[in-house]
Chain A
């Protein structure tokens, strides 16, 4: 059988999903792209590709690519080595060239992300390091209650978002994108952002908190895998920060994931964002991986 890279077809889907599932929590975003809700397979087969590497019939690496230039690598047993190239990397380079016009970003385990860099013929624009955290203890309520004594004032009301809440949550979503996602806040695109929020509300689980009728904080999942749901988009409007509101919303979300879906939670948080990191540790999250997003200049 030997070793080789191939492009995923429908018949390869199950073993590839199974491989990704075993690498969770760090691979939750990949698991989600392979299978979500009632959909099995890629959302848009004309805009997405999955490459996979087999050694003697067993899959030991996959790379997800899409038309916007996003790459999600996932390799098995790399022992954290950042310098080591992916297996059979000379086969990978032409596949990248065939399916990607230009790389926008690579996201994943730090060692997996850096190992692909020599194969990308573009200059790095920025690399951001994250802690990848996960919470999979069964009993955690008492820890949370110790760290978060009593509700903050004024009290917020917590709601689960409905697919029709797009308008209600747009300002929060916009604030989040401007502060946390976009490298250049001037590039904010309201239409794209609205579409993205709409889709998130349709497919994901989102909670938000209101004071009076105004939403001031939110958190939701952005990927749901086999055992883990990845939490993202955690955001509180600046004037209400550092009062524990986000913690309340994240806790409600985690409780629902655990109770109704039997899912543990995971997330990644910027290393320099100490406040948030402390908050997640208090909520029971523990460090699992070094995570990185590398952004590239266009060709």
Chain B
């Protein structure tokens, strides 16, 4: 009794953290100045089994406002984190208000531990938080300019915007080495096909985000960049041996782990040559335990990609077993994009395993130690992301005006001239020019640069192939112009371009996202890679086309067909 009172007095007197990061309500233990390692054990000693077990869960929810179920998980169970998806982000002040409500629920719950609030704001192609957030050129653009400074500032400005919203963890940078051009789902999300360049830029990006107070999560461990073309919506099988993986895909992890990386996301990827089976890396212990912990010496958090993705579900196991298996395999946190029933079968199954299996319990405790340590290290220092964001100030700071300027310049540093027959290009007096592309930013920017040009929009989806109707329509339209400036972005736009070629070969190509499709069209004499698919990238590409600027970037992937 005396001891307990003494401890309480000691806790109260040591509550001296800065007002910026410390919420005014909630259990005080988390916010004391005790060093993280020591406080982890104190926190665990105050937590019951359910609170400990819940820390390994990171859940998504539907809608703009936090759902009743997610609030139950937070307030009554004390889950470790929430994941913000695109469908939660239509209106930023509402998102910030929702995050504030959820964090309030967490810090006022019995354990009083704040949430990881995570999202996928990689930059470029993947931008889950929408509304007015910056549209950035993306990782491959960073690979093309090749400057670690650009990667650092990109991480910093993306982090600054997440910070305003109270999002303290980002599933970025993507450090997949783009070794297989057919890895469509990675494409422009990769920095490069070179492992060391990928690691260097990934490191810089991570430190930039750290400066904004946001926790980096490198992904998709152990490496997604070698995945085959037909991997869409299924489990990719990557046929490499361990030595190749170590010297290629794992290089960025070997580099970033040494630099203090806090978290890694595991991908649903099978490596049959290494493991001897078709199980995803998320559901077997080999990569998490033998590779990541033992060989790489990583002691941060390993979190799964969404376990409701096809790659995991394809195992045929029920979701409850997938979750148990993922934790047994050495993942510290499991991610589910939708909210399970707080009293449903998943919760019951996890609790049952925790109660009857002492190895499982030990492993969960080990994971929760890591989770709490990363939270203590990142959520309560002077530079921490505010636990309670201010919804009223969101639009003042998002987009970040300095960031807008930076991304504009970065896009200009990355744009690459691949074939230069008609550069600089200005239409002749009566030349009829058509701008055709699947992005309004391309058509808008192009029509400002070439005001006499007509515009033709075609849809970006379906991704892999274009319909016959769409092909006929564009062929007919393109036939009546002297020059077509075409935006190439995916396999379906490549099909449309090949259709146009039958009628009109006077085509200038501006490639958006990955420039890999340019390898297929050697008959095009003028081609520029923009990498991004938004206004700054297209402004840079058109400036190169009209001869306003010289192209500085060079493609970070080989452009010749092997």
Query: Residues of A at under 8 Å CB distance from B?
Result: 14-15, 17-18, 21-22, 35, 37-41, 44-46, 57, 136, 163, 202, 226-227, 261-264
Contacts and interface: CB of A to CB of B under 8 A. Distances in A.
B399 interface: yes
Contacts of A35: 440
B451 A136 contact: yes
A163 B396 contact: yes
A136 B447 CA distance: 13
Contacts, number: 57
Contact of A226 (B130, B438, B444): B444
Nearest to A1: B469
B477 to A, nearest CB: 12
A202 B447 contact: no
Interface in B363-419: 395-396, 399, 404
A264 B135 CA distance: 24
B90 A45 contact: yes
Contacts of B132: 37-39
B459 A37 contact: no
A287 to B, nearest CB: 19
Interface string B413-448: 000000000000000000000000011100110011
A35 to B, nearest CB: 7
Interface of B: 90-91, 130-135, 395-396, 399, 404, 438-440, 443-444, 447-449, 451, 455, 457, 459-460, 469
Nearest to B407: A38
B444 A21 contact: yes
B439 A14 contact: yes
Nearest to B444: A226
A262 B439 CA distance: 19
Contact of A227 (B130, B399, B447): B447
Contacts of A22: 455
A204 to B, nearest CB: 14
Given A21-B440, A202-B395, 15 more contacts: A15-B457, A15-B459, A17-B440, A21-B443, A21-B447, A37-B132, A38-B132, A38-B134, A38-B404, A39-B130, A45-B91, A46-B91, A136-B451, A226-B443, A227-B447
Contacts of B135: 38
A45 B395 CA distance: 16
A200 B433 CA distance: 35
28 contacts: A14-B439, A14-B459, A15-B457, A17-B440, A18-B443, A18-B457, A21-B440, A21-B443, A22-B455, A38-B132, A38-B404, A39-B130, A39-B132, A40-B440, A41-B90, A41-B130, A45-B90, A57-B469, A136-B451, A202-B395, A226-B443, A227-B447, A227-B451, A261-B448, A262-B448, A262-B449, A263-B448, A264-B451
Contacts of B469: 57
A226 to B, nearest CB: 4
A223 B399 CA distance: 18
Contacts of B449: 262
Contacts of B396: 163, 202
A15 B130 CA distance: 20
Give the 4 A-B CB pairs with smallest separation, nearest first. Answer: A18-B457, A262-B448, A226-B444, A17-B440
A40 B90 CA distance: 10
A163 B404 CA distance: 15
Contact of A14 (B404, B448, B457): B457
Contacts of A21: 440, 443-444, 447, 455
Contacts of A46: 91
B131 A39 contact: yes
A170 B279 CA distance: 65
Nearest to A36: B132
B91 A38 contact: no
Nearest to A262: B448
